[in-house]
Amino acid sequence: MKKKTVFIVQAAVIAAVYAALTYAAAMAGLAYGNIQFRFSEALTILAAFTPAAIPGLTVGCLLSNITSPYGIVDVICGTLATLIAAYLSYKTRKITFKGLPLLSAIFPVITNAVIVGLEITLLMPEGFKLTAFLICAAEVALGELIICYALGIPLYVAIKKLGVDKYLK
């Protein structure tokens, strides 16, 4: 297959799996809000393997946020947070600790904490308050941290161990 076709297929599969996993988390009440555990965020580690993860994760997030209770604001802000995180994760993929891209896994935590935390705080009835923002950002960060490191890093290890990474270049 041509490189461009492989890139498009990889991005599309990542987007579809991300959206499906987010909808599964939404059915469990875990996908939206300041306390969220999107299983799909484990896929952000795929940016350490392939640049196709950047559009894949971004489109997957956009599709997922269409059903967000925060509406178009979440579609824009959440998608932007994912795009920035995926790009930074890809750019730092070669920085590893004991063979693990631990730095790549932190960007979804940081970008979602700041951008989604700010989004949620601004949409609160009482408006922006610094204390509320810090609490929301910390809650979003905690959920992201758990998913990205407890699920994302083991996913990275499994992909490497199974040799699947050779298909993700």
* Residuewise pLDDT in 10s, the chain (169 residues): 688 999 999 999 999 999 999 999 999 999 998 889 999 999 999 999 999 999 999 999 999 999 999 999 999 999 999 999 999 999 999 999 999 999 999 999 999 999 999 999 999 999 899 999 999 999 999 999 999 999 999 999 999 999 988 888 7
The pair of structure tokens assigned to 96 is 């590893």
Say how many Å lie between the first and final Cα of the chain, rounded.
13
Which residue in the block uniquely carries the two structure tokens 């699947």? 164
- Model pLDDT, residue 1: 64
Cα angle, residue 142 at apex, residues 146 and 49 outer, rounded to 5°: 45
DSSP one-letter string for 61-108:
HHHHHTT-TTTHHHHHHHHHHHHHHHHHHHHTTT--BTTB-HHHHHHH
Phi, psi of 35 (to 5 degrees): -110, 105
